[in-house]
Amino acid sequence: MAYEERETDLTELPATRTRVMLNLADPSAAFRWWRLPADGVGLARLEFIVAHQVRAHPMALLHPERLDRRDRCAIEQLTEGHLDRGQYFIDRLAHGVARIAASRWPDPVVVRTSDFKTNEYARLLGGQAFEPVEANPMIGWRGASRYYSDGYREGFALECRALRRVRDEMGLTNVIVMIPFCRTLEEADRVLDVMAEQGLRRGEHGLKVYVMAEIPSNIILAEEFARRFDGFSIGSNDLTQLTLGVDRDSETLAHVFDETDPAVTQSIRLLVLRAHSADRAVGLCGQRPSDDPAFTEFLVRTGIDSISVAPDSFASVKQHVAAAEREPRADEPVGSVQGSGRTA
pLDDT digits (tens, 9 = 90+) for 73-90: 999 999 999 999 999 999
The boundaries of the domain holding residue 21 are 13-326
Give the DSSP letter string of 126-147. Answer: TGGGT----S-GGGSS-THHHH
Considering the domain boundaries, does residue 331 fall inside one?
Answer: no
Neighbouring C-alpha atoms within 13 Å toward the C-beta of 88: 21
d(CA 129, CA 126): 6
Q: Dihedral through CA 233, CA 235, CA 337, CA 105, nearest 10? A: 50
Checking if the pLDDT of 334 tops 50, the result is no
Considering the domain boundaries, does residue 341 fall inside one?
Answer: no
d(CA 107, CA 136): 37
Instruction: Return the amino acid letter for 330.
Output: A
**pLDDT in the model for residue 336:** 35
Task: Report which DSSP code applies to 166.
Answer: I
Checking if the pLDDT of 7 tops 90, the result is no
Report the percent of the chain where pLDDT is more than 70. Answer: 95
d(CA 48, CA 27): 9
Checking if the pLDDT of 330 tops 70, the result is no
Task: Report which DSSP code applies to 233.
Answer: E
Task: Report which DSSP code applies to 15.
Answer: P
Q: Dihedral through CA 195, CA 201, CA 205, CA 207, nearest 10? A: 70
Which residues pair with residue 232 across a beta bridge? 211, 282
**pLDDT in the model for residue 192:** 98
pLDDT single digits (tens) 203-239 = 999 999 999 999 999 999 999 999 999 999 999 999 9
**pLDDT in the model for residue 340:** 44
Checking if the pLDDT of 297 tops 90, the result is yes
Among 26-35, 289-298, 330-339, the least confident range:
330-339
d(CA 69, CA 60): 12
Checking if the pLDDT of 332 tops 60, the result is no
175-179 and 209-213 beta bridge pairing = parallel
Considering the domain boundaries, does residue 167 fall inside one?
Answer: yes
Considering the domain boundaries, does residue 152 fall inside one?
Answer: yes
For residue 236, give the H/E element and its range: helix 236-244
Considering the domain boundaries, does residue 333 fall inside one?
Answer: no
**pLDDT in the model for residue 329:** 59
Considering the domain boundaries, does residue 197 fall inside one?
Answer: yes
pLDDT single digits (tens) 199-209 = 999 999 999 99
Q: Quick one: pLDDT band at residue 343, thresholds 50, 70, 90?
A: low
pLDDT single digits (tens) 51-62 = 999 999 999 999
Checking if the pLDDT of 335 tops 80, the result is no
Q: Span 147-152, mean pLDDT? A: 98
Instruction: Please tell me the total count of domains within the chain.
Output: 1
Mean pLDDT (the chain) is 94
Count of residues in the chain: 344
CB proximity list for 273: less than 8 A, separation 6 or greater: none
Checking if the pLDDT of 337 tops 60, the result is no
Q: Residue 82: which CATH number?
A: 3.20.20.60
Answer yes or no: pTM beyond 0.85: yes
**pLDDT in the model for residue 249:** 87
Considering the domain boundaries, does residue 339 fall inside one?
Answer: no
d(CA 232, CA 305): 10
d(CA 176, CA 99): 14
Count of Cβ atoms closer than 10 Å to residue 270 Cβ: 14
Q: Dihedral through CA 121, CA 231, CA 215, CA 18, nearest 10? A: -100
d(CA 82, CA 211): 34
Which residues pair with residue 35 across a beta bridge? none
Q: Is the dihedral of CA 215, 217, 218, 220 positive or negative?
A: positive
Considering the domain boundaries, does residue 1 fall inside one?
Answer: no
Count of Cβ atoms closer than 10 Å to residue 277 Cβ: 11
